[in-house]
Amino acid sequence: MDSFTLNKAAGAVLMVLILTMGVGIVSDVIFQPTIPGKPGYEIVVEAAQDATSTVEAEPDVVPISERLLAASASDGANVAKKCAACHSFDDGGANKSGPALWDVVGRKPGGHDGFRYSSAMSAYGEENPEWTYEALDNFLAAPKKYIDGTSMGFAGLRRPEERANMIAYMREQSGAPKPLPAE
């Protein structure tokens, strides 16, 4: 390779370096970067509500004793399909990720043999001798709010009629259904 070809190659490399540096300088002139005063992103955390916060009124809900009179166990069987992935409703049914719910009305909370309950449910069972209609209604509305620390991941049944139908269905899933509550 002669010196003329070598000079052309060195000139080309030098020209690319000068051009790259020149583009960087020109772009800094055109687009002036703004450096933030405080680097990073601010994470906004919701402030805890104090005792003077407003409280929303809960809508009036008909007592479970009255709703059960109009409840339909067959409609409750349709609602129970939401629960079938985790619970069995059959006599002698196996525990799944949740306990079997055969004869649950009147049964001790956290007391089904062969199922390992959360400590919150076991503590609730120590304080309450049996699942009453009212307790089931409150639990099915929002399990995690009713028993804080329960391992039941279900969000709950929001509509009171749906809960009443479900409880009517669970009542029938027993060898000797418990009597309906007095008004």
Look up the CATH number of domain 64-172.
Answer: 1.10.760.10
Q: How many residues does the chain have?
A: 183
Q: So what's the pLDDT on residue 50?
A: 60
The whole-angstrom separation of Cα 162 and Cα 159 is: 5
Q: How far is CA 12 from the centre of its chain?
A: 64
Domain ranges of the chain: 64-172
Can you tell me the distance from the alpha carbon of 99 to that of 155, in angstroms, rounded to the nearest whole number? 17
Q: What is the C-alpha to C-alpha distance for residues 50 and 42, in angstroms, rounded to an integer?
A: 24
Sequential pLDDT tens for the chain (183 residues): 788 999 999 999 999 999 999 999 998 888 877 777 888 877 888 776 665 555 565 567 788 889 999 999 999 999 999 999 999 999 988 999 999 999 999 999 998 888 999 999 999 999 999 999 999 999 999 999 999 999 888 889 999 999 999 999 999 999 888 988 876
Query: Number of C-alpha atoms within 13 angstroms, CB side, residue 125?
Result: 16
CA distance 50 to 43: 21
Nearest Cα neighbor of 82 from 180, 174, 178, 159 is: 159
| Separation CA 102–CA 39 (nearest Å) | 59
